[in-house]
Amino acid sequence: KAGVTQTPRYLIKTRGQQVTLSCSPISGHRSVSWYQQTPGQGLQFLFEYFSETQRNKGNFPGRFSGRQFSNSRSEMNVSTLELGDSALYLCASSLGQLGANNSPLHFGNGTRLTVT
């Protein structure tokens, strides 16, 4: 069974641009959650999508948005990029919604975004 796939692996953008990251979950998984990992702030929850609906949202500005398609694939968009958005962005999929204790998170290898 294929794991969680994130594309692209690396991205370099300049301030003010926007970026779209993609996440393909494990087949059959309906929940996709996104995380930002930085040396300064550690690993922080961005949002979760389940059955094409945003179910939970972390404490990030509205520049960070996402969506989920009917095949459970998810995209995350960041508009008006800032230098501080440079990070490793991880997505994780699970069979059930976050909170279901029989649904462990399976992480992708991440997209490393560098904003110059």
For residues 10 and 115, the answer to whether their CB atoms sit within 8 Å is no
Q: Does 97 bind another protein (CB under 8 A)?
A: yes
Contacts of 42 (CB under 8 A, 6+ apart): none
Q: Does 48 bind another protein (CB under 8 A)?
A: yes
CB of 66 to another protein, least distance (A): 15
DSSP 84: G
Distance CA 8, CA 22 (A): 7
Pick the piece of the chain touching another protein (CB under 8 A) from 12-20, 67-75, 76-84, 108-116: 108-116
Site string for another protein, 6-25 (x = CB under 8 A): x-------------------
Residue choice 4, 21, 32, 113 for contact with another protein (CB under 8 A): 4
Paired with 28 in beta bridges are none
For residues 29 and 94, the answer to whether their CB atoms sit within 8 Å is yes
Binding site for another protein (CB under 8 A): 4, 6, 42-45, 48, 55-56, 58, 90, 92, 97-99, 101, 104-110
